[in-house]
Chain A
Amino acid sequence: MPEKKNNLNLSYKSKGMSLAVKTVTRLSVGMLLLYGVNMTLHGHMIPGGGFAAGIFIALAFLNLILAFGKDPAKERLNQRRMAIIMGLGLILFLFIGMLGFGKGFFFADFFKNNTGFFSILGGKNIPFYNIAISLQVSSGLLTIFLCLTLLKIKGE
């Protein structure tokens, strides 16, 4: 469809915000997303962690929705896909915890010695936990926001 290519097309019901906001958002969203991913992968080194990184990633997508309006978001985002990512994060966290049974107990460290390739990680299995947490938190917050804005409540 020709309407999809031009974001400023007036045929959208909700046009989003002004041209300046759209331009700035187009520039800043990439950086915000990159910072979130950086914080996820370096969460054991720098301030922040999985939770803050997940919120950053959710905020990047949320900025896009606010700037460009509801309808482009409604066409692109899929509720089922978001739910799958959210469950995947939780199951990944549980799976890494279960791997600790090889060492003796639940949530035990299995990189205690930090030799060879895994010495890059520095912080035991913390980076893996951070990845799982950021996956779950980002998709969960985004799902809540989308539901509250795009859908209608049953009673109304």
Chain B
Amino acid sequence: MTELVVLLIVMIIGAVVALEIKDLLSSVVIIGALGLCLSVGFVLLKAPDLAMVQLVVELILMVILIRATVIEDKHDNNKKRENAYFFVVISSLVVFLSAAFFIIRKLPIFGKPIFRISYAYLKDLNINALGSNILASLMLDWRVFDVFGCMIALFVAVICVLLLVKGKRKI
């Protein structure tokens, strides 16, 4: 568990640096490092599926962000408002941290009691008919309609991009 705590501390420090640094490219690179830390954290929490997806999505996000930031490096910082921003950030931090301190102490321990829904999943799975990966079987056995909706969402997104970006040149 200590590795996870160290990773989380590194991620928090990295996020603050990514917000405060002036150079946009360095900020994007730090965000990529944050994603890598998150995927290592998923591995430590024994979720290799999620770690793999996180890593690959982070790669694509990095490519798009670098393409967006390298060409135009604009800083629109208004110095008059900086003090107001600082005050808002500090006050919201104080409010959220104090609220989190009281709320997190009252949460039940993770995994106890087991949720009823996961009981139903585990009870009704036909173990003999599955592959060795129970997560994929869960995902495509119970939640297959969910995955179908996800695919339709991606389809609609692609069509919207095609409509918006249609220019003179054709691919």
Contacts and interface: CB of A to CB of B under 8 A. Distances in A.
Interface in A109-129: 109, 111-112, 114, 122-124, 126, 129
Interface in B111-153: 126, 128-133, 136-137, 139-141, 144-145, 147-148, 151-152
- Which of A52, A66, A83 has the most chain B CB within a 10 Å cutoff? A52
Contact of B49 (A47, A126, A133): A47
A148 B165 contact: yes
Contacts of A143: 158, 161-162
Contacts of A94: 148
A66 B168 CA distance: 22
- Which of B57, B133, B164, B167 has the most chain A CB within a 10 Å cutoff? B133
A20 interface: no
A144 B161 contact: yes
Interface of B is mostly: helix
Contact of B52 (A47, A78, A86, A140): A47
Given A49-B136, A114-B129, A152 B148 contact: no
A111 B137 CA distance: 13
Contacts, number: 148
Contacts of B59: 59
A107 interface: yes
Contact of B131 (A51, A126, A147, A148): A126
Given A140-B155, A152-B165, A152-B168, 5 more contacts: A45-B133, A48-B52, A123-B130, A126-B141, A150-B171
Interface of B: 48-49, 51-53, 56-57, 59-60, 63-64, 67, 126, 128-133, 136-137, 139-141, 144-145, 147-148, 151-152, 154-155, 157-158, 161-162, 164-171
Interface of A: 43-49, 51-52, 55-56, 58-59, 62, 66, 74, 77-79, 83, 86-87, 89-90, 93-94, 97, 106-107, 109, 111-112, 114, 122-124, 126, 129-130, 133, 136-137, 140-141, 143-154
